[in-house]
Amino acid sequence: MTEMISVLQEERIFKPDPTLSQRAHIPDMAAYKALVVQAETDHEAYWAWEAERLISWEKKWDRVLNDDNPPFYKWFEGGRLNASVNCIDRHLGRRSDSSRSGRKNKAAIIWEGEPGDMRTITYQELANEVNKLGNVLRQMGIKKGDRVVIYMPMIPEAAFAMLACARVGAVHNIVFGGFSAEALADRIDDAKAKLVITADGGWRRGAIVPLKDAVDQALLKCDSVEKVIVVERTKQRIHMHYGRDYWYDDLVAEANIRCEPESMEAEDPLFILYTSGSTGKPKGVLHTTGGYMVNAARTTQYVFDLQEDDTYWCTADIGWITGHTYVIYGPLALGGTSLMYEGVPTAPHAGRLWEIVEKYRVNIFYTAPTAIRALSKLGDQWPQKYNMDSLRILGTVGEPINPEAWMWYYRVIGSERCPIVDTYWQTETGSICISPLPAATPIKPGSCTLPLPGMKYAVVDNDGNPVKEGNGGMLVIQRPWPSMLRTVWGDDDRYVETYFAKFGDKQFYFAGDGARMDAEGYYWVMGRVDDVINVAGHRLGTMEIESALVSHPSVAEAAVVGRPDDVKGENIFAFVVLQDISDDDFHHDALVRELRDHVTKEIGPIAKPDGIKFTDNLPKTRSGKIMRRLLRDIASGRESKGDTSTLEDSTILEQLRGS
């Protein structure tokens, strides 16, 4: 493979507001650089210092990093801790230990349901709920190491379920509530789960998602599950199987509020989370306890600059890694207040998120580019209805954010006052890896900027050698880090092959992204390398062409794919969603020409789309990622093979194939 060409030119730069420095954890670039030097001087000592500072250990580790058998790394071996104790017990305050801060009456979770119902759960209440459910799990025969599937809406009980599993040493495996019975069955079966925790349903866009029905269907195929716990959320009629299914409320009503936490070794599993690759069945990414907790807490503190009195809101569902690390484990480990919202951003109206920001005076807001693009398309009048001056920091995650969407977020949501932390990471990395620090890093729209201290990144060619500055290549991590995945559940070979085999003995971690580094060492992620288009021997990242398209005032969203071409190898085909979809066809012809010229002007003729198709929507996963694999099939007139079960709207393929 030749190097990738990077064509995105972005010159804007925004310096951090000096008032942010006053109480920030990392107040300026000098403080950031000092941490980088500390981590590079003695990598293990650095992580040991962070581990000691951030996490309460029952017993200190014997060894910081065991790298005797790469890539099967072990962190904090011999150390013992419990994740739920770190997220709850240590915040309650004890008279015998004056260093404990006494947050027992502080809100741990502020919850808003889609219909507008609310709950605030203090740390003491969280302790009581988690302890009760922990006892229920033990009574049901759940032991350390057993797998529990959680298939729930975004309700407080989902957080209780995660933490109760952690308390008794069970390994949770959360399946996003939007996945089908089929996808659920695969994940239950692969993990050989003994118990499922679910709800009668959840609210989504004013309708009920029938979660329990999906569990019933899935369990027709899975024989490992012995019992099901059901939370009553929507009160719709469901079928309860006698002897297998139990109501959550009945079980916890009887349970004791003291549940002894299981003493876990740092390397004992905390959770499995399935993530789909472009091929093959989903991979069960395994995270363990000690290293994951250290980096979840560290990154929440550094990247979001979480302060004691902040209201912090990460909009991710707990079914994704972002929901694990930045709704639950990170903020709660730090004793923060985490807001949870059940519904979609646009129900019952397009200002729902901004209404919640105003209502709870949210200080830190973290969401995905797909939501930002969708909301910007609905117009500035929605955010402008609400007072959002409580906001201090904005964040984004999940895919490259194109500079136009970044600017909208910065201007309209943050009033040109809030830094945007564009956080690059993956399910596999467990925590944020590359990101600005809000009070320190000058930011550039579209760049995730600099690696966090301790993270050793590089952009390399096929042989693992660094590419020239400014050139695109493959993004690798050259050294293990505490919150890295430990294996693919039940498939060590797949772990090695997928992530560590590409560069032979170098043992670099590679998880499929292309990137370039600019003269100031800033990283620009160009998207998955499978999404690269090869035009006449030049490898172009689709993201950059999409960015150019979206910078045209008529375009709301764009997805670009390669289509086989006898001459050029591949040619460029763009699916475009317009801001104003009422334009007539004649106008479209003119617009096609205009957009092609626009891309030529922005990037150059090599990136000019050969074909453009206008559409109302794009095929996306339920987490908002564009499924380019399906668009490639459509563009080249092929049948789509492979898994489409993660598609948000299954009718979209027919629409796209039509006229």
Residues of this chain that bind ligand PRX (CB under 6 A) = 275, 321-322, 397-400, 422-427, 448, 511-513, 525, 528
Q: Which is nearer to ligand PRX, 71 or 400 (CB)?
A: 400
| Interatomic CA distance for residues 339 and 175, integer angstroms | 20
Q: Which is nearer to ligand PRX, 528 or 552 (CB)?
A: 528
Q: What does the block give as tokens for 366?
A: 């973290």
> 3-class SS at 599?
helix
Q: Which is nearer to ligand PRX, 267 or 422 (CB)?
A: 422
Q: Which is nearer to ligand PRX, 128 or 423 (CB)?
A: 423
Q: Which is nearer to ligand PRX, 120 or 275 (CB)?
A: 275
Q: How many degrees, rounded to 5, is the angle at CA 241 between CA 239 and CA 245?
A: 100
Q: Which is nearer to ligand PRX, 295 or 322 (CB)?
A: 322
The DSSP string of 253-267 is HT--S--PPPPEETT
- The answer to whether 366 and 395 have CB atoms below 8 angstroms apart is yes
Q: Which is nearer to ligand PRX, 27 or 514 (CB)?
A: 514
Q: What is the DSSP letter of 569?
A: E
Nearest approach in angstroms of CB 473 to ligand PRX is: 15
Q: What does the block give as tokens for 493?
A: 């070979």
Q: Which residue is nearest to ligand PRX (CB)?
A: 427
Q: Which is nearer to ligand PRX, 388 or 474 (CB)?
A: 474
Nearest approach in angstroms of CB 434 to ligand PRX is: 8
Nearest approach in angstroms of CB 616 to ligand PRX is: 25
| Interatomic CA distance for residues 603 and 484, integer angstroms | 36
Q: How many CA atoms lie within 13 A of 330 on its CB side?
A: 29
Nearest approach in angstroms of CB 475 to ligand PRX is: 8
- How many CB atoms are located within 10 Å of the residue 612 CB? 20
Nearest approach in angstroms of CB 299 to ligand PRX is: 11
Give the containing element (helix H, strand E) for 53.
Answer: helix 43-54
Nearest approach in angstroms of CB 633 to ligand PRX is: 20
Nearest approach in angstroms of CB 422 to ligand PRX is: 5
- The answer to whether 63 and 273 have CB atoms below 8 angstroms apart is no
Nearest approach in angstroms of CB 127 to ligand PRX is: 29
Q: CA torsion 243→249→252→254, rounded to 10°?
A: -80
| Interatomic CA distance for residues 302 and 32, integer angstroms | 10
| Interatomic CA distance for residues 164 and 143, integer angstroms | 12
Q: Which is nearer to ligand PRX, 173 or 423 (CB)?
A: 423
Question: Residue holding tokens 């015998």?
Answer: 96
Nearest approach in angstroms of CB 524 to ligand PRX is: 9
Q: What does the block give as tokens for 385?
A: 């209805």
Q: Which is nearer to ligand PRX, 172 or 628 (CB)?
A: 628
- The answer to whether 275 and 427 have CB atoms below 8 angstroms apart is yes
Backbone φ and ψ for 299, nearest 5 degrees, come out as -70, -35
Q: Which is nearer to ligand PRX, 341 or 524 (CB)?
A: 524
Q: 175, 259, 265: which is closest to 214 by C-alpha?
A: 175
- How many CB atoms are located within 10 Å of the residue 598 CB? 20
Nearest approach in angstroms of CB 9 to ligand PRX is: 18
Q: 251, 247, 155, 250: which is closest to 209 by C-alpha?
A: 155
Q: What does the block give as tokens for 557?
A: 């969203």
- The answer to whether 283 and 292 have CB atoms below 8 angstroms apart is no
Q: Which is nearer to ligand PRX, 134 or 177 (CB)?
A: 177
Nearest approach in angstroms of CB 293 to ligand PRX is: 17
Q: 155, 203, 147: which is closest to 178 by C-alpha?
A: 203
| Interatomic CA distance for residues 552 and 570, integer angstroms | 24
The DSSP string of 474-512 is EEEE-S--TTS--EETT-HHHHHHHHHSTTGGG--EEEE
Return the bridge partners of 514, or none: 474, 527
Nearest approach in angstroms of CB 397 to ligand PRX is: 5
Q: Which is nearer to ligand PRX, 289 or 449 (CB)?
A: 449
Nearest approach in angstroms of CB 429 to ligand PRX is: 8
